[in-house]
Structures are given as structure tokens and as C-alpha cells.
Amino acid sequence: MVYLNFTNLDAETQNKLIATSKQDVENAFGEQLKQYAQKHHIDYEILLDEEAMRNLYNYNYIFNL
């Protein structure tokens, strides 16, 4: 069995997974993140990127070899 984490993947795959994760986070928590960003004077896009990276560790990666 092969175990991989996010950093073992090529750049193209990493970018695709980050984009997918960003969409997932925005759909699930977009309004809450916007409110938090406004309240704490944080750039929403940076906050969204950070949450998307954290969200990647919740994914189970399955590869066809």
C-alpha cells in the first residue's frame, strides 16, 4: 500500500486540489469567514486560502495506478 500526503503530489495536482478545497470551504463557510474577516480586519482571500489548506488534511486521497 502506498501512503502519500499533499506535499508528495506534483504541482498541477496540488493546484487542482487547492482549488477544489477552496470551493468546498467557500460553499460551507463563506458567510462565516466573511464576517470573521470583517470583524478582525483580515483579507478574506488570505483567510480563505488558509482555511482551504487546512481543509486539505480532511480529504482522503485515492489514486489509480
In-domain check, residue 41: yes
What was the pLDDT predicted at 10? 83
User: CA 7, 8, 14 angle in degrees (round to 5)?
Assistant: 60
pTM, to two decimals: 0.76
In-domain check, residue 23: no
Question: Helices 44-56 and 11-39 meet at what angle, rounded to 10?
Answer: 130
Share of the chain above pLDDT 90, in %: 54
In-domain check, residue 1: no
Structure confidence by residue, pLDDT tens digits, 10-32 = 888 889 889 999 999 999 999 99
In-domain check, residue 50: yes
Residue 35 CB: number of other CB atoms within 10 A?
11
Q: 45 vs 3, which has greater pLDDT?
A: 45
The count of structural domains within the chain is 1
What was the pLDDT predicted at 34? 96
In-domain check, residue 37: yes
Domain range enclosing 40:
30-57
